[in-house]
Amino acid sequence: MSSAQGSTAQRQSPPTEGDHHVQFYEAPSFLFDVVAKFLATGFQTGEPAVVIATEAHRSGFKAHLKAMGFEVERALEDGRLVLLDSRDTLAKFMVGGLPDWSRFQQLIGAVLDRSHRAAGGRKVRAYGEMVDLLLKDQNPQAALLLEEQWNELGRSYPFSLLCAYALGGFQTQEDARTFHQVCAAHTHVRPTEAYSQVSDDELRLREIAALQQRSKMLETEIEHRKRVEKELLTAVRLRDDFLAIAGHELRTPLTALQLQLHSLMHLAQEKDDPHMQERLSRAQKQAQRLGTLTEQLLDVVRIGAGRLTLQVGECDLSALVQEVVERSAEAVTQSRCQLRVLVDQPVRGQWDGARLEQVVTNLLSNALKYGAGKPVEVMVKASRDRATLGVRDTGIGIPLDAQARIFDRFERAVSTTNYGGLGLGLWIARQVVEAHGGVIRVESEPGLGATFTVELPYGT
């Protein structure tokens, strides 16, 4: 039966003799009222009902039916009303993410047939929201195929079907196409309460005109956003081009400057001039800082262009951390933080040592910068399948709303007035860690410090 098993691109129109309604809704209370009236109308003429819905909706339907004076429990006992769970029912005929026609026909057909026979051959009223579940599961192909299978089943069994979709499930341009396909699969389409509950014809016409105006406004807004997005992409490319040029142009004279400073320091040491050595040392530190910032700018361009490549080899994370700590001795002294290092010896893996050195340096620098002169701890330990690096300070801490964005480009959790930097260190650290297949996270409370944890698989 090709119509029930074909692709969603080849949908049949609903059968003209069918009775297949779709109700769009915004508030569950409106849906409860609509479905209860749909079922009650059938009960008045002796038509049985089959409801396939979520537990919350089944409870709402029952409450509305009882409020209308209908004896729900008796109807359940004598089979005039059958209540099925939509998620459980759906799972019984889904195969490979799509509804299987044979299983659907056997399962739902048997339910409809029993209700039909128990009611003396009267038409069955069925309500289902399995299609809405599939749409909420981001599976519109399965939802549309199931609608088609309902139509096909209607050729064999006498039933009137009401489906329901939450309007909030249709928000994007792709959703709009699915929305029109859903409408095409039904003989009757019912709008949400915003229109259905308007009783006066003149008011309905006004509502239609307002909807048309909103539609046109949204189309214009979408086109505007497309233009803005294109302009933003162009601006980003220009920015990256500028950063690449600036980084490369700074690197050459900076390298020459560092060589000159090194030569001057050598001469100052030969002449035993402490005053000159001190001044040259400060100049070297500033040149080194400028070099770090330049490399960060170049990393922004490399990573943005997908050119972050790892030079993987045998690497001892414990030894690497010890080296970074030794090189940072002066920074530790200036920060007035007491540094404690706890490392397992050794912790080896297949990693890019130079890139991991960036990660350790960035995390330690941040801990010393924001540690407020309080103790800082660096830890390395090994487990069966991964190595863990932890850097903990007890300083100013990070607000909860900033903990996610500090790993983004040019993002900072503190004011640039009091703390320098480009806001790139943690972003680069995350890129490096994730390129190794690892994860980086932070736990912090304002005033209680922060703990950064890096987990790295050992690699092959």
Strand partners, 382: 387
User: CA torsion, points 441, 410, 448, 440, in degrees to nearest 10?
Assistant: 10
> What is the reported pTM?
0.49
- Classify residue 85 by its DSSP letter: E
16-197 and 219-304 have identical folds:
no
- Classify residue 267 by its DSSP letter: H
Sign of CA dihedral 145, 151, 156, 160: positive
Determine the pLDDT at residue 66. 94
Determine the pLDDT at residue 321. 94
The DSSP H or E segment spanning 76 is helix 72-78
Determine the pLDDT at residue 439. 94
The one-letter amino acid at 61: F
Pairing state of beta strands 386-393 and 450-457?
Answer: antiparallel
* Residue 285 in this model has a pLDDT that exceeds 50: yes
Mean pLDDT, rounded, for 185-200: 81
CB-based burial, 13-25: b 16+ in 10 Å, e otherwise: ebeeebbbbbbbb
Q: How far apart are CA 230 and CA 291, in angstroms?
A: 33
368-416 residue pLDDT tens: 988 888 999 999 999 989 999 999 999 988 888 888 788 887 665 555 5
Superfamily of chain region 313-457: Histidine kinase-like ATPase, C-terminal domain (3.30.565.10)
Tokens of 435: 């390129």
Query: If one looks up domain 16-197 in CATH, what number appears?
Result: 3.40.50.300
Strand partners, 23: 164, 190
Closest CA to 321 of 357, 352, 365: 357
* Residue 124 in this model has a pLDDT that exceeds 70: yes
Closest CA to 163 of 141, 208, 122, 133: 133
The domain locations on the chain are 16-197, 219-304, 313-457
Q: Phi first, then psi: what are they for 49, rounded to 5°?
A: -135, 140
295-333 residue pLDDT tens: 766 666 666 655 577 889 999 999 999 999 998 888 898
Query: If one looks up domain 219-304 in CATH, what number appears?
Result: 1.10.287.130
259-281 residue pLDDT tens: 888 888 888 888 888 888 888 88
